[in-house]
């Protein structure tokens, strides 16, 4: 009976994969498992370490570390795609249902996500059975750029920019506590210009050439941290959801420079206040702008 149920569940899972494939063609979504390679290429591989055997959540297994030729065996939800998987898939299904002890799968952990090295069939069956977790040997992967939970194309581009920025500045080595995550592309170029400018004036101050990693560390201590402290003191992240601290640094320094050029009192705190006032004014205008045309229309129709 368990074998019949396993065969039926395999066919049902494969049919769901077929329906998802049709939908993927129409919506242009991915039709295969996500590979770990572009993730590591974007974020920059720093090293690996064994994290032990753990129970890991199945819904955080998002891709595969298998060779490209095997990525087409399962779809992004680990539904089986190829009919040739049927024999092995149903055998593992029976073993799981009957309570046989299966060896742990092997995974890489990158950020909050897991990528299967070995055990794709076990993941597929466990998901089909509605299991929440699975036993795994975990290899922790450290990347230069941290990775969030949503790894779409834009997130990978941001990670690639951050990894290149860290490779240039070496901040991840000189200031490991630094977290300069930007939500928009192009902002690391702006921050790098700030560091280069700081390095130029630091060289004049010390009467010698200053290497970029040294300039970056000094910039972080003397420029970035005072702005970050002002951001935290004024609770700006709570008032501007969707922004990161590094995003706010860029915006605040723009206003700081503009205020100093205009002869106004400048510094991190006045610049933070200016940003919050500007955001509040923009919010008020957006809330009330829609009412103006309504009154005008009423006046024309019923003077």
pLDDT digits (tens, 9 = 90+) for 122-136: 999 999 999 999 999
118 phi/psi in degrees, rounded to 5: -145, 130
Distance CA 214, CA 210 (A): 7
Is residue 303 one of the residues assigned to a domain?
no
* Among 116-120, 182-186, 230-234, 289-293, the least confident range: 289-293
The CA–CA distances, whole Å, from 271 to 183, 234, 235 equal 20, 11, 14
Distance CA 42, CA 185 (A): 14
Q: Which of 143, 168, 193 is the last residue of a domain?
A: 143
Is residue 101 one of the residues assigned to a domain?
yes
Domain range for 125 is 2-143
**Are 172 and 281 found together in one domain?**
yes
**Are 62 and 89 found together in one domain?**
yes
Distance CA 222, CA 100 (A): 60
Q: Which of 125, 143, 161 is the last residue of a domain?
A: 143
**Are 182 and 261 found together in one domain?**
yes
**Are 166 and 137 found together in one domain?**
no
**Are 85 and 134 found together in one domain?**
yes
34 phi/psi in degrees, rounded to 5: -75, 135
pLDDT over threshold 70, residue 159: yes
**Are 256 and 280 found together in one domain?**
yes
* Residue 12: CATH number of its domain: 3.90.1530.10
Q: How confident is the model at residue 287 (pLDDT cuts 50, 70, 90)?
A: low
The CA–CA distances, whole Å, from 263 to 31, 200, 256, 258, 268 equal 58, 24, 11, 9, 15
Is residue 295 one of the residues assigned to a domain?
no
**Are 118 and 34 found together in one domain?**
yes
The CA–CA distances, whole Å, from 65 to 52, 97, 226 equal 18, 27, 42
**Are 136 and 161 found together in one domain?**
no
| For residues 6-31, average pLDDT | 59
Q: Which of 115, 143, 171 is the last residue of a domain?
A: 143
Q: What is the number of domains present in the chain?
A: 2
* Among 22-26, 143-147, 161-165, the least confident range: 22-26
**Are 6 and 138 found together in one domain?**
yes
pLDDT over threshold 90, residue 205: yes
Is residue 208 one of the residues assigned to a domain?
yes
Q: How far is CA 194 from the centre of its chain?
A: 25
CA atoms within 13 A of residue 65's CA, in its CB half-sphere = 19
pLDDT over threshold 80, residue 118: yes
Is residue 301 one of the residues assigned to a domain?
no
| For residues 261-268, average pLDDT | 79
Distance CA 219, CA 199 (A): 8
- Pick 199 or 278 by higher pLDDT: 199
**Are 139 and 7 found together in one domain?**
yes
Sheet bearing 34-35, strands edge to edge: 34-35, 61-64, 113-118, 105-110, 133-143, 45-57
Q: How many CB atoms lie within 10 A of CB 95?
A: 16
Is residue 300 one of the residues assigned to a domain?
no
* Residues constituting the chain: 303
**Are 164 and 134 found together in one domain?**
no
Yes or no: say if 269 and 254 are a contact pair by the CB < 8 Å rule. Answer: no
pLDDT reported for residue 204: 94
**Are 74 and 36 found together in one domain?**
yes
| For residues 82-89, average pLDDT | 88
44 Cβ partners below 8 Å, 6+ apart?
143, 144, 145, 163, 166, 167
Is residue 214 one of the residues assigned to a domain?
yes
């Amino acid at each position: 009976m368990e074998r019949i149920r396993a065969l039926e569940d395999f066919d049902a899972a494969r049919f769901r994969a077929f329906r998802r494939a049709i939908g993927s063609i129409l919506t242009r979504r991915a039709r295969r498992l996500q590979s770990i390679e572009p993730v590591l290429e974007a974020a920059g591989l720093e090293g690996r370490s064994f994290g032990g055997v753990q129970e890991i959540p199945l819904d955080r297994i998002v891709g595969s570390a298998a060779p490209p030729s095997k990525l087409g065996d399962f779809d992004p939800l680990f539904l089986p795609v190829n009919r040739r998987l049927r024999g092995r898939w149903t055998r593992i299904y029976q073993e799981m249902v009957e309570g046989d002890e299966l060896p742990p799968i092997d995974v890489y952990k990158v950020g909050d996500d897991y990528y299967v090295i070995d055990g794709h069939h076990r993941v597929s069956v466990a998901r089909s059975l509605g299991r929440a977790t699975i036993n795994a040997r975990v290899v922790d992967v450290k990347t230069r750029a941290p990775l969030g939970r949503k790894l779409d194309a834009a997130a990978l581009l941001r990670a690639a920019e951050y990894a290149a920025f860290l490779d240039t500045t070496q901040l991840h080595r000189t200031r490991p506590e630094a977290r300069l995550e930007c939500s928009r592309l192009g902002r690391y170029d702006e921050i790098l210009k700030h560091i280069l400018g700081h390095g130029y004036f630091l060289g004049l101050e010390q009467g010698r050439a200053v290497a970029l990693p040294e300039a970056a560390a000094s910039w972080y201590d003397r420029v970035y941290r005072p702005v970050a402290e002002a951001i935290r003191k004024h609770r700006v992240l709570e008032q501007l959801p969707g922004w990161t601290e590094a995003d706010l640094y860029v915006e605040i320094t723009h206003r700081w420079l503009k205020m100093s050029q205009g002869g106004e009192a400048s510094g991190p705190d006045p610049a933070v206040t200016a940003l919050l006032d500007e955001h509040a004014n923009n919010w008020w205008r957006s809330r009330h702008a829609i009412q103006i045309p309504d009154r005008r229309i009423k006046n024309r129709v019923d003077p």
